[in-house]
Amino acid sequence: MWTQWCAGGRQTVFLLVQVLVLKFTCCGRPNILFIVLDDFRPIMRSYGNQLIIAPNMDNLARNSVVFNRAYTQQALCGPSRTSFLTSRRPDTTKLWDVHYYWRKSAGNYTTLPQYFKEHGYHTESFGKIFHPGNTRITRKSCCDTLCDSVVA
């Protein structure tokens, strides 16, 4: 069902990426909160629209870096996320849809979460970020903690 919804039509994938530096540790290294949303329209107050009322996200946006001009490499969510998480274009990752796992065809590139993990950061994954290779085994290579559901 997700694949059909995600891949349906020629909908524009909007990526909202917020980087929030919370505080510095004793080593001077910042804590980083990296939030990725796809298939998300800018309809919250932080984007000047009143349709969605989300006070916690609006507050986070007021204290964060909000990117108002986000672009995507591919019209589908999986190839687009893989592109920005590997810094490789879809023609390099050979991922054109959501049915294949990019490491099998493109190689073993270091992803953004892997890079942070390899440099001493604790990384966590909530929900999906890579698919269909979105198993706990493949996700464990990039994140210390995996959470498949978020309780409100």
Question: For the segment 59-101, what is each residue's pLDDT rounded down to a tens digit?
Answer: 988 888 887 877 778 888 788 888 888 889 888 888 887 777 7
pLDDT cut 70: percent of the chain above it: 66
pLDDT number for residue 125: 76
Confidence of residue 32 (pLDDT cuts 50, 70, 90): confident
Residue 131 a catalytic site member = yes
Q: What is the mean pLDDT of the chain?
A: 69
Residue 122 a catalytic site member = no
Higher pLDDT, 18 or 82: 82
pLDDT number for residue 147: 57
Is the pLDDT at 50 greater than 50? The verdict is yes
- The residue annotated as part of the active site, out of 131, 142, 143, 147, is 131
Paired with 18 in beta bridges are 35, 66
3-state SS, residue 140: helix
Is the pLDDT at 46 greater than 50? The verdict is yes
Q: Which amino acid is at 61?
A: A
- The residue annotated as part of the active site, out of 6, 26, 77, 143, is 77
pLDDT number for residue 103: 78
Higher pLDDT, 94 or 133: 94
> Which DSSP string corresponds to 63-117?
TSEE-SS---SSSSHHHHHHHHHHT--HHHHT--SSSS-HHHHH--PPPHHHHHH
Record the tokens describing residue 140, joined without a space: 């464990």
3-state SS, residue 65: strand
pLDDT number for residue 30: 81
Record the tokens describing residue 25, joined without a space: 């540790």
